[in-house]
């Protein structure tokens, strides 16, 4: 599944699944713009000077439409096209519904749903003439409800409908843009560090690996790696999936069966 000659934009590329996707797309030949809230300064270790010439950091707050307009314009001005958009930016949240504040609800939806809406909207605009592929990150929590994480589950369920609606709209308007979602189960990423219970497990077991092992032992489900999710994303943005659009692909070891 080569992406030679393609131009890709990956959000949330600073860590976790987004970083794994950016690395894999670049390794398969795509000129890859790695977008995140912060980008390394030129004189920082691991900054742009030490990156391959086809990996380009770019700042993007996915909640802000002006940032999307600026980022898309930068890619188009420099490359003339965008063939692939992977929207991996997102946040996790866990609290009982009766204790969830309206501000917290809106914070989760602003990133997870509004950000995805803006990604798809501006991705379609950039690709509707020449064509391309958009993949966004959902979650099995949007398929199978998660108690204690209602805001997160609801935001990800909405992402699924957004993907299907947008894919159908592109199909009916004759836009050569494919839009799909991958929905992982538990994945070993830094996103867990935002969860108070996970920090408690790290303290109890002495490391993040110990915390993940404890959760696997308790729930009976194996955690995926970010690289495994990235492989599925690669398939959905490549020509190998050229007849696939509007799907939500669970990557969960059978959790949602």
CA distance 177 to 167: 8
Question: Among candidates 200, 198, 191, 92, which has minimal Cα distance to 150?
Answer: 92
Residue 77: burial class (beta carbons within 10 Å; 0-12, 13-18, 19+): exposed
What H or E segment, with its residue span, contains residue 115?
helix 115-127
Torsion angles phi and psi, residue 11, rounded to 5? -95, 160
Backbone angles phi and psi of 35, in degrees to 5: -100, 140
φ, ψ for residue 12, nearest 5 deg: 65, 30
Q: Please identify every residue annotated as catalytic.
A: 152
Starting from the edge strand earliest in sequence, which strands make up the sheet with 84-87, in order?
55-59, 31-36, 7-11, 84-87, 132-137, 177-184, 248-251
Q: How far apart are CA 231 and CA 182, in angstroms?
A: 11
SS3 181: strand
């Amino acid at each position: 599944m080569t992406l030679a000659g393609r131009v890709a934009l990956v959000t949330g590329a600073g860590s976790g699944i987004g970083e794994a996707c950016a690395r894999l797309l670049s390794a398969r030949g795509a000129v890859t713009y790695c977008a995140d809230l912060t980008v390394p300064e030129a004189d920082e270790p691991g900054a742009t000077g030490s990156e391959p010439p086809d990996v380009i950091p770019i700042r993007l707050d996915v909640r802000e439409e002006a940032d999307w307009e600026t980022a898309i314009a930068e890619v188009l001005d420099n490359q003339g096209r965008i063939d692939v958009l992977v929207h991996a930016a997102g946040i996790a949240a866990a609290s009982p519904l009766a204790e969830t504040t309206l501000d917290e609800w809106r914070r989760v939806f602003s990133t997870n749903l509004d950000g995805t809406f803006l990604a798809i909207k501006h991705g379609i605009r950039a690709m509707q003439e020449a064509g391309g592929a958009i993949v966004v990150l959902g979650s099995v929590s949007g398929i199978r409800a998660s108690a204690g994480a209602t805001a997160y589950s609801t935001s990800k369920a909405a992402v699924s409908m957004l993907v299907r609606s947008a894919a159908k709209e592109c199909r009916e308007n004759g836009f050569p843009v494919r839009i799909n979602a991958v929905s992982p189960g538990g994945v070993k990423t830094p996103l867990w560090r935002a969860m108070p219970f996970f920090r408690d497990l790290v303290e109890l077991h002495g490391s993040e690996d110990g915390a993940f092992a404890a959760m696997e032992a308790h729930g009976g489900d194996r955690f995926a790696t970010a690289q495994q999710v990235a492989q599925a994303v690669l398939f959905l943005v490549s020509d190998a999936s050229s007849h696939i659009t509007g799907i939500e692909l669970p990557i969960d070891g059978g959790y949602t069966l």
